[in-house]
Amino acid sequence: MTQRSGVRVHKIRAAVLRNKGGPLKIESLELEGPCEDEVLVRIVATGICHTDIDYCDDWDAAAKPVVLGHEGAGVVEEVGRGVKGVKRGDHVVLSFQSCGQCGPCRSGQPTACRRFYKANFGFGRLDGSNAFQRSGVHGHFFGQSSFATHSLATERNLVKVSRDLPLDILSPLGCSIQTGAGTVMNSLGVSKGTSIAIFGTGAVGLAAVMAARIVGANPIIGVDRNPMRLELALELGATHVIDNRHAPVVSGISDITGSGVDYVLEITGDPSMLQLAINALNPHGTVALFTGESGPDSLPGGRKAISIVEGGAVPQLFIPKLISLYQEGLFPFDRLVKFYGFSEINRAIADAKRGDTIKPVLRVSEQ
Ligand SMILES: [Zn+2]
Ligand SMILES: [Zn+2]
């Protein structure tokens, strides 16, 4: 770890994970930067995504304390000398990080970046340095660590947005909303008249429901154990819902379609749901898997399982598209959001875990 001499240090506040399962504690820290290709962003708001929550619960006590958060949105405060695309005062939504140099990155597929894991889960820059080193914690989660008053990002993981738009609503576009909608529109390329079932109607699943309605899929079947979410799924575009606490999933789907479905998004991560997803697929159908779970290598009848990363999205292209659809009233993802103050971060996480809140967003500073 090299200490950069002469670098400006910013005093910030950030929510630090020091114990498995939390709670997160808001602490004063020192953040270096920005480097030549980096952008210092004052965070206005940040979504909380299930990957943040899972990381808290799975955190290994031997690991360094970390700053999580990867759905930040804010205002550019300072840019490195090599940054061309944004300037101080610009409004930005932050998304996942990529290296920008490998084959997939150069051919416009950053979700297939060969250094995706290191860039997003390495808790350092790709060169191994860490802007939080003076404070003894690790950051750079998804190239942002947005549970903080300030984040360091790069041009590769920020999207410039209009100053007229509310950054607190836009923040979850950077991961969960992009993932759900992108799975339907990019990874699977769902087309008009095809059938789709969505197992798990949280933020990713409901974004997928809205996208499926936009592309004209029919039927669109939401499956969940939470009646509040199923109600919302129907309002946002699901043609049918199945409460799998009380009703069988595969025969329920067959009652609706007369056979199976062309696509299943299996978002619950539950192995028994994966088996049901496979059983519910039509021949040549596809099941989309999330959270890194791996599917079976081969399935009968031309069926296949694919692993989804961030909905196959190029954030600089896809997030503006989702914002346009939102402005046209076709993609009302703001209906998933509940706002909290930054100091309420642990309550927001608890509400999301219980399923009472679909997409918690922390308001960190004034827009
Ligand atoms: Zn790459
Ligand atoms: Zn996420």
Task: Identify the nearest ligand to the CA of 95 by its number.
Answer: 2
**Residue 174 Cα, ligand 2 centroid: separation in angstroms?**
8
SS (H, E, C) 212-258: HHHHCCCCEEEEECCHHHHHHHHHHCCCEEEECCCCCHHHHHHHHHC
Token pair of 223 as six digits: 């499956």
Sheet of 304-307, strand order:
240-243, 220-224, 196-199, 261-266, 281-289, 304-307
Task: Identify the nearest ligand to the CA of 104 by its number.
Answer: 1
DSSP code string of 126-194: TTS--TTGGGT-B--GGGT--SBSEEEEEGGGEEEE-TTS-HHHHGGGGTHHHHHHHIIIIIS---TT-
Q: What is residue 293's predicted lDDT score, i.e. its pLDDT? A: 66
Residue 289 near residue 307, CB atoms below 8 Å: yes
d(C-alpha 3, C-alpha 18), whole Å: 23
Q: What is residue 298's predicted lDDT score, i.e. its pLDDT? A: 84
Short-list 4, 62, 32, 67, CA closest to 364 = 67
What is the DSSP pairing of strand 359-363 with strand 337-341? parallel
Q: Is residue 222 classed exposed, middle or buried when 0-12, 13-18 and 19+ CB atoms within 10 A define those classes? A: buried
Q: What is residue 232's predicted lDDT score, i.e. its pLDDT? A: 98
**Residue 16 Cα, ligand 2 centroid: separation in angstroms?**
18
**Residue 77 Cα, ligand 2 centroid: separation in angstroms?**
24
Q: Which of 331-334's residues contact partners 24+ apart within 8 Å by CB, and which partners?
A: 331/181, 331/210, 331/211, 331/214, 332/210, 332/236, 333/172, 333/173, 333/177, 333/206, 333/207, 333/210, 333/359, 334/169
Token pair of 145 as six digits: 């660590």
**Residue 60 Cα, ligand 1 centroid: separation in angstroms?**
27
Tokens 């079947």, residue located: 221
**pLDDT means over runs of 10, the chain (367 residues):** 68 96 97 96 98 93 90 98 97 98 97 97 96 96 98 98 98 98 98 98 98 98 97 98 97 98 96 95 96 78 94 98 98 98 98 96 96
Task: Identify the nearest ligand to the CA of 102 by its number.
Answer: 1
**Residue 178 Cα, ligand 2 centroid: separation in angstroms?**
9
Whole-structure pTM value: 0.96
**Residue 46 Cα, ligand 1 centroid: separation in angstroms?**
25
- Computed from CA positions of residues 256, 259, 264, 270, in that sequence, does the dihedral angle turn out positive or negative? positive
**Residue 47 Cα, ligand 2 centroid: separation in angstroms?**
9
d(C-alpha 133, C-alpha 364), whole Å: 23
Tokens 């061309």, residue located: 84
Residues in the chain: 367
Q: What is residue 5's predicted lDDT score, i.e. its pLDDT? A: 61
Residue 284 near residue 301, CB atoms below 8 Å: yes
**Residue 70 Cα, ligand 2 centroid: separation in angstroms?**
6
**Residue 337 Cα, ligand 2 centroid: separation in angstroms?**
15
Chain centroid to CA 11: 27
Sequence-separated (6 or more) residues with CB below 8 Å from residue 39: 76, 78, 79, 80, 83, 86, 92, 152, 153, 154, 155, 158
**Residue 309 Cα, ligand 2 centroid: separation in angstroms?**
10
On the CB side of 244, CA atoms within 13 Å amount to 20
Q: Encode pLDDT of 114-163 as tens digits.
A: 999 999 999 999 999 999 999 999 999 999 999 999 999 999 999 999 99
**Residue 101 Cα, ligand 1 centroid: separation in angstroms?**
5
**Residue 94 Cα, ligand 1 centroid: separation in angstroms?**
17
Q: Encode pLDDT of 223-253 as tens digits.
A: 999 999 999 999 999 999 999 999 999 999 9
Q: What is residue 346's predicted lDDT score, i.e. its pLDDT? A: 98
**Residue 274 Cα, ligand 2 centroid: separation in angstroms?**
21
Q: What is residue 173's predicted lDDT score, i.e. its pLDDT? A: 98
**Residue 251 Cα, ligand 1 centroid: separation in angstroms?**
43
Chain centroid to CA 177: 6
Q: What is residue 7's predicted lDDT score, i.e. its pLDDT? A: 80
**Which helix (H) or strand (E) covers residue 6, if one does?**
none
Longest dimension (CA), the chain: 69
Identify residue 113 by its one-letter amino acid code: C
Tokens 């529109």, residue located: 185
Task: Identify the nearest ligand to the CA of 113 by its number.
Answer: 1
Q: What angle do CA 272, 187, 72 make, to 5 degrees?
A: 90
**Residue 95 Cα, ligand 2 centroid: separation in angstroms?**
9
